[in-house]
Amino acid sequence: MKSFLTKILIALLLFPIAAFATDPLPSWNDGPAKQSIVNFVEKVTKPGSPDFVPVPERIATFDNDGTLWCEEPLPVQLFFLIDRVKALAPQHPEWTTTEPFASLLKGDAKGVAASGERGLMELIMSTHAGMTTVEFEKIVNDWIATARNPKTGKLFTEMTFQPMLELLAYLRANGFKTYIVSGGGVEFMRAWAERVYGIPPEQVVGSSIKTKFEIRDGKPVLVRLPELNFNDNNGGKAVGINEYIGRRPIAAFGNSTGDKEMLQYTQGGSGARFELLVLHDDAARETAYGPARGLPNVPLVHFTPELDEYAKQNGWIVVSTKNDWKRIYAFEK
């Protein structure tokens, strides 16, 4: 009769080794999307592989809204903008009769939309400029500490996508430097990106307004000016990558037409490359929007049939949140 210890040893030996190996992407369902990620990482990190990429060149860029965290019912920075207009309204009595402020304060989305891009820029400049960079960082930090998504009641910072957090960690564990390259404001994101994503300020690229160096009360400060500096969307994402990072990524991740050029630019380099788009098609667990694949259209963000077709033609991975993600949000852990 075998001893108890021997039985345990045999059981351990028979147990598949793979079951002991930690799955780096546990919130991803097994399938082509997950497999393609693992295949890519393995081939670029394997010494001697024809696809091997040295560590310093392992640059991965991620869109933020809709790629790393939820952008519905509105991109988070718009909630910030709305709250800032409300907070500043008492100091601006003229806003009750000036568009787009009047519509925004009445909660009239159509009225705001009617003011177009010019109106949006006015809203941005009146809420994001006029203070020092240090003051602005504090405003963002105070706001993000308590601001919640109106649909789920969760903190916005809890509504990050768990599969993407795992992907960030998996890439970093394999020598990648992970960057955010987002249309969002760079100083809005830098305030919390390190805490939420483990991405330090110097690895956040985004849209920005101009700043100006001044000595105020004997102290050197940077004052935020009401003037656009850089629009980090569409072709701007490729421009921003070159300007702020100075290296072409070997992997890029997005979710909308605004990310297309970033993925094209990534794919345009030589050697192994990886491009992935997140398609939100899970109305039950998150939200579903397109308009590709018959999904409803939503304002501001777009996964168009043309983008879907372009991805297919060019070998870009399209992730279905419904089929490829076992869990959606980080708070579901």
Q: How far is the CB of 126 from a copy of itself (least distance, A)?
A: 21
Q: Is 131 in the site for a copy of itself (CB under 8 A)?
A: no
Span from 120-128, 165-173, 184-192, 323-331 in contact with a copy of itself (CB under 8 A): 184-192
The distance of closest approach from Cβ of residue 66 to a copy of itself in the complex, given in angstroms and rounded to an integer, is 21
Q: Which of 113, 222, 295, 300 binds a copy of itself (CB under 8 A)?
A: 222
Q: Does 73 bind a copy of itself (CB under 8 A)?
A: no
Look up residue 300 and give its two tokens: 């501001």
175 scored as a contact of a copy of itself (CB under 8 A): no
- Residue 200 interacting with a copy of itself (CB under 8 A): yes
| Tokens 């939820």 -> residue | 70
Rounded to whole angstroms, what are the CA distances from 283 to 156, 200, 255, 321?
19, 32, 16, 10
In this structure, the number of other CB atoms found within 10 A of the CB of residue 245 comes to 17
Please tell me whether residue 135 binds a copy of itself under the rule CB under 8 A: no
Question: Is there binding between residue 213 and a copy of itself (CB under 8 A)?
Answer: yes
Segment 75-82 long-range contacts (CB within 8 Å, at least 24 positions apart): 75/184, 75/300, 75/301, 76/147, 76/156, 76/184, 77/184, 77/185, 77/188, 79/147, 79/150, 79/156, 80/127, 80/140, 80/143, 80/144, 80/147, 80/188, 81/123, 81/124, 81/127, 81/128
What x/- string results for residues 268 through 287 when contact with a copy of itself is judged by CB under 8 A?
x-------------------
Which of these segments, 19-27, 44-52, 228-236, 316-324, binds a copy of itself (CB under 8 A)? 228-236
Least distance between a copy of itself and beta carbon 286 (Å): 30
Q: Is 133 in the site for a copy of itself (CB under 8 A)?
A: yes
d(CA 189, CA 240): 15
Per the CB < 8 A criterion, the answer to whether 156 and 192 are in contact is no
Name the site residues for a copy of itself (rule: CB under 8 A): 56, 133, 177, 186-187, 190, 194, 200-202, 204, 208, 210-215, 219-222, 229, 234-236, 238-239, 242-247, 261, 264-265, 267-268
